[in-house]
Structure 1
Amino acid sequence: MNAPSQPPLPAADAHDGLPMPRRLRAIAAICCGTALVILDAAIPVVALPTIGRELHVPASSTVLTVTIYQLTLVMAIMPLSAVGDMIGLRRLYALGLTVFALAAATCLFVNSFVLLLFIRFVQALGAAAVLSMTSALIRSIYPSGQLGRGLGVNSLINASFTALAPTVGGYIVAFAPWQWVFAASAPLGVLALIGVRNLPDPEPRQGRFGWLSAAMSAATFGLIVGGLETGAHGGGAVATLLVLAAGIGIGVVFVRRELRVEQPVMPVDMLASPALALAMLGAMAGFMAMMTFVISMPFRLETGYHFSAGEVGTMMATWPLAALLIGPFASIMADRFSLRLLSGIGASVTVLALLSLAMMPADVSPLGICARLFVTGGGISLYLSPNARALIASAPRHRAASAGGLFQTVRLLGQAIGATVAAALLSFGLGSGPGPAYAAATLATIAGLCSVVRIRR
C-alpha cells in the first residue's frame, strides 16, 4: 500500500506573506542561511597567519582566501539573481545552500593552498546564490506591513554573526586544525536546508537566460572591484587605472545592452526610477562611510592614542554592539513611521557622531571613545534599515530577486570602495588622523540627502 502523500504547503499570498506557523519555520531557514554566509565571510581572517605557516605560503598570499571570496560574490550575485527569477527563488536558494555546505565540509580535507582557493571560489558561488535570493524571499515571507521587521531580523543575524566571527574563529584556531574555520558554517547550511521546503516559491518568470549579459555583468563588477583591490594593495597606479578603465568600459556597453533586452540580468531599467536610483546611491554612500571609518579607526587608536591591540579590539566591539541593539529596533519602526524621518535622523546622528570622533581631544578616555563609537554604529543602523526597506519595497514584486541582487552588489561595491578610500588615506599618511572620520561624515551626509530627497512617506 502506498503511503499517503503529504498535503501541499499553503501558498504565500502576494501581499500578506506566509501563514503561521509556516512563516516562523521559513524565518528560521532564512536566518540560518544568512548566518552561514556572514560567518564564512568574516571568520577566516583570524586563521590567515596559521594558514600561511602550515601551508608554507607568504602572509600576503593568504589574503587571497578573502579576496577571491569577495570577488566571486560581487561577480556572481547579479547573474544568479536573474537565474532565480527564471528557475524559482526557493530552488536556487536550496541549490546555493547545498553547494556551500558541501564545499565547507570539503575544507576539512584541504592540504594545499591552491585547492583551498578553489574551494573558497565554490563556497562563494553558493553564498552568492543564497544572498541574491534572501531579500526577495523575505519580501514574500512577511506581510507587506511587516517587511521592515523581516529585514530587521535579518540585520540582527548579520550584526550578531559579524561580531561573533572573530571570537569563534579564534577559539577554533586555538583548539582545532585551521580547516575547521572554513567548515564551521556547514551545520548551519544543513539546518537551513531542512527548513527550505517552508520557504515561499513565487512563480518563476518565463524566458531565456542572457549568457552574454551575465558574462558582461561579472566582468564589469569583477574588474572594478579587482582594480580597487589592486590599488589598495600597492599594485601600481598604471595597473589599477587599466583594470578600472576596462571594467568601466565593459560596464558602459553592458548597461546599453541591458536597456534594449526584454529580461535584463541587471535591472538597469528600474534605476530609471529616481526613488530606486537614489536609494541605491544612498546605500552605497552609507556602506562606503562605514567601511572607510571601520578600517582606519584602529590605526588611529593605536598610533595616535597609543592603545594596545586588545584595548582597540574591545573599543571597536561597541560598533557591532550598537548595530545589534539598534538595527532591529529601527527596522520595526520603519513599518510604522516615516522612512524619510527615520533615515534623516539616522544620517544626522551618524554625521554628528563621526564629527565628534574626528575632533576627539588628545586626552579622551576609552569610555568616551566607546560612547562615540556606539552612537555612530547606532546612527548608521538607523539609517540603513529604513533605506533597505524602502529600496526592497519600491521594486515590482515579480522582480524582487533582481532588486535584492542589485542591493547586495551595491553593498559589496560600497564596502570595496570604502576600503580603497581608507587604504588611500593610509598610504598618504592621513589614515591615522581625523581625515577618515571627516571623509566618512561627508559620505554619510550624501547618504542622508539621497534618502531624504527620495522618500515621500
Structure 2
Amino acid sequence: MNAATLDGLPNPQRAFAFLTIGIALTMAVLDGAIVNVALPSISTELAISPADAIWVVTAYQLAVTVSLLPLASLGDIIGYKRIYWCGLAVFTVASFACANAQTLAFLAVARVVQGVGAAGIMSVNIALVRYIFPKALLGTGVGYTALVVAVSSAAGPSVASAILTVASWQWLFLVNVPLGIVALIIAARTLPQTPASGHAFDWTSALLNAVTFGLLIAGLDAFSDADGNVRALLMILVAAIAGAVLVWRSLKLAVPMLPVDLLRRPVFALSMATSMCSFAAQNMAYIALPFFFERTLGRSEAATGFLMTPWPLMTALISPMAGRLSDKLAPERLGSAGLLILAVGLACVATMGEAPTGFDIAWRLAICGFGFGLFQSPNNRIIIASAPRERSGGASGLQSTGRLLGQSMGAALVAIVFGLVAGGHTTLIAWIGAGLSLVGALSSGFRKTA
C-alpha cells in the first residue's frame, strides 16, 4: 500500500526506516563540527594558513544553509524519499572526494557538494518521520530524532579526537563511506513513498533564498572577526533586502519555497521563534564556557570536554522521554516548562562565581540540558504537526533553517560580547541566554495546539 494512505509504517519496517534516518542524520550533523578539530592538521598538510583553512568549515555551513529550503520544496514536489536518498548518495560520494583532496580549492568544493547532500538529508528528515511513525507516536519519533541530533552535536569533538588519535584527518571523511552505503541500501528498501505535488520548482525564489540566508549567516559569522563589523553589517543589509523581496514574492504564491503560508499560523510562527531562542541560548553557552574553563580555570582541552558533558548527556536522556510525553500531554506546556528550566539553569551558571568546583559546574549544566531536552522534542512535534501533511517538507526545511539561524545568532552575540566587554564574559553571556530562554518560554505559552 502507498504510505500516504497509512498511518505510519508497521514494524520492523518502521525500525529500519528510522535506522537509516538516524545514520544519515548523525553523519550530517557530525560533519558540521567534526572537522574543526582537524583544521590544524589540514592546514599543515595542504600548506595553507589557518585563516584559509576556516573555509573547510564555512563552505559546508553555507552550502547547508542555502540548500535547506529549496530541497525541502523539491521534496514536496517529487517526494521526500527521493530527496533523502539522493542527498545521502551525494553526501557519501562527496565524503570520499574530501578524503582525497590535495588542495584547498578541491577540498572546499567537495565540502560544498557535501553540504548540499547534508541539506538533502536534513531538509526532509522530520517530514519522513511523520510518515514513518503513526500519528499517536509522532512525538516519540520526533524525540528519537532530537536524541540523534543532540548526541551527534555533542559527540563531534570526541569522535574527531578518537579518529585522529589512530588515523589521519582523511578518515574523518572516509568513515562516512561505508556508513552511507549501508544507509542507502536500508533506505531504498524501507523508507515510505510519499505524495508528490508535481508543481513547478521556483528557481527565482531559490536564488533569493541563497542570497538571503547565505549572506545572513556569513554576516553573523563576520562579527567574530575583530575588523569585520562593517563587512558584517553590509552583508546583513543586503540579506535583509533580498529577504524582503523573497517574502513579497512568497506572499503571492500558493505553495511558496519560503513557507510564509505556514508562518501565518500563529502556533507555527511561535514555535519557530522559540526554537531559534533556545538554540541561540545553547550555542552561546557552548561557545563561551570552554573559554571560561580553559582560560579562567586553567583546565585542559580534555577536561573541558568532560566538564561540558552533563548538558548534552542530560539532553540525550530527556529528549526521547519528552517526545513520548508530548503524545499524551499538551506539548506547548512541556515546551514552556523546558525553557523555564533552561533559563533557571543558565541563571545558575551566571552566578557560579570565578572558582567553581567540578560538581558546581556539573549540576548547573545538567539543569540546562534537562530543560533543553524537555523543550526540543515537544516543540519539534508542534512544528511538524501544525503543518498540513502535504507541506511537511516546508515545515521540516524551515525547522532545520531555524536551528542554524539560532546557532548563528548565538555565535554572533558571543562575538559581540567578547569584543565590547572587558571581563565577566561568561556571566553576561549566561544572563543573556537566560533572557532568551524566558522570551522563548513566553512565546511558547501563547501557543494553542489542537
Report the Cα offset of residue 363 of structure 1.
Answer: 4.1
Match of 2:276 in 1: 284
Among 393, 414, 425, the alignment partner of 2:417 is 425
Residues 14 and 140 in structure 1, CA contact (< 8 A), matched pair in contact too? no
Q: Which residue in the other structure is 2:398 paired with? A: 406
State the Cα distance separating 1:360 from its structure 2 match. 0.9
Per-residue deviation at 1:251? 0.4
- Equivalent position amino acid for 1:200 in 2: P
- Answer yes or no: is the 8 Å Cα contact 1:11–1:18 preserved in 2: no
Q: Over the residues paired in the alignment, what is the CA RMSD in angstroms? A: 1.5
- Is 1:212 paired with 2:204? yes
Matches within 5 A, 1:56-205: 56-197=47-188, 198-205=190-197
Q: Is the aligned partner of 1:377 residue 2:365?
A: no
Q: 1:444 aligns with which of 426, 437, 444?
A: 437
Residue range with higher mean Cα deviation, 410-419 or 20-29: 20-29
Structure 2 regions of 5+ residues with no counterpart? none
Contact 1:40–1:185, Cα closer than 8 Å, also in 2: no
TM-score under structure 2 normalisation? 0.96
The corresponding residue for 1:4 is none
- Report the alpha carbon displacement of residue 432 of structure 1 after superposing the two structures with TM: 3.1
1:213-262 Cα distance to aligned partner (Å, 9 max, x none): 11101111001111111222234322111111000001001100011022
Going from structure 1 to structure 2, the CA distance change for 1:413 and 1:431 (only over 3 Å counts) comes to farther
Query: Which residue is equivalent to 1:391?
Result: 383
Q: Is the 8 A contact 1:98 1:126 kept in 2?
A: yes
Q: One-letter code of the match for 1:451?
A: S
The question of whether the paired residues in 1 share the 8 Å contact of 2:4 and 2:194 is answered with no
> C-alpha separation between the residues in 1 aligned to 2:312 and 2:16?
27
1:245 maps to which of 217, 237, 245: 237
- 8 Å contact 2:4–2:193 — kept in the other structure? no
**Which residue in 1 is equivalent to 2:32?**
41
Provide the residue aligned with 1:309 in structure 2.
301
Task: Determine the structure 1 residue equivalent to 2:42.
Answer: 51
Matched-pair contact (CA < 8 Å) for 2:69–2:401:
yes
Query: C-alpha separation between the residues in 1 aligned to 2:448 and 2:297?
Result: 41
Structure 1 residues 126 and 92: alpha-carbon distance in aligned structure 2, compared to 1, 3 A threshold: same
Instruction: Report if aligned partners of 2:267, 2:449 keep a CA contact under 8 Å in 1.
Output: no
SS at match of 1:434: helix
Q: What's 2:348 paired with? A: 356
Q: How far apart in 1 are the matches of 2:124 and 2:161?
A: 31
Q: Structure 1 unaligned segments of length 5 or more: list them.
A: 1-9
Cα deviation for residue 15 of structure 1 reads 5.9
Q: Which amino acid aligns with 2:403?
A: R
User: SS at the partner of 1:195?
Assistant: helix
Deviations 1:106-163 (A, max 9, x none): 2232111111101000000000011111010000100011111101111222222223
User: Structure 2: how far apart are the matches of 1:124 and 1:420?
Assistant: 22
Q: d(CA) in 1 for partners of 2:261 and 2:227?
A: 35
Match of 1:256 in 2: 248
How many angstroms does 1:364 deviate by? 2.4
State how far apart, in whole Å, the 2-side matches of 1:386 and 1:251 are.
29
What's the CA shift for 1:84?
Answer: 1.0
The answer to whether the 8 Å contact 1:299/1:431 transfers is: no
Preserved CA contact (<8 Å) 1:73 1:128: yes
Q: What's 2:266 paired with?
A: 274
SS where residue 22 of structure 2 aligns? Answer: helix
Q: Which stretch of structure 1 is more off in the superposition, 188-197 or 241-250?
A: 188-197
Partner SS, residue 166 of structure 1: helix
Q: Is residue 36–residue 186 contact of structure 1 (8 Å, CA) maintained in 2?
A: no
C-alpha separation in 2, matches of 1:14 and 1:297: 49
**Contact 1:151 1:385 (8 Å CA) reproduced:** yes
Q: Distance in 2 between matches of 1:46 and 1:361?
A: 29
The structural deviation recorded for 1:201 is 1.4
Classify the secondary structure of the residue corresponding to 1:420.
helix
The percentage of counterpart residues that share the same residue type is 36
Q: 1:331 aligns with which of 306, 315, 323?
A: 323
Q: Distance in 1 between matches of 2:257 and 2:332?
A: 30
Q: Is the 8 A contact 1:15 1:144 kept in 2?
A: no
Deviations 1:314-363 (A, max 9, x none): 10122111111111111111111121321122111111111111011344
- Indicate if the aligned counterparts of 1:12 and 1:19 stay in contact, CA closer than 8 A: no
Assess if the C-alpha contact under 8 Å between 1:303 and 1:432 holds in 2: no
Residue type matched to 2:51 in 1?
S
> What is the total number of aligned residue pairs between the two structures?
448
> Offset at 1:62?
1.4
Q: Offset at 1:387?
A: 0.8
Q: Check whether the contact 2:146–2:376 (CA below 8 A) recurs between aligned residues.
A: no
1:455 equivalent in structure 2: 448
- Dislocated runs of 4+, deviation >4 Å: none
Inter-partner Cα distance in structure 2 for 1:173 and 1:302 = 22
Amino acid of the structure 1 residue aligned with 2:245: V
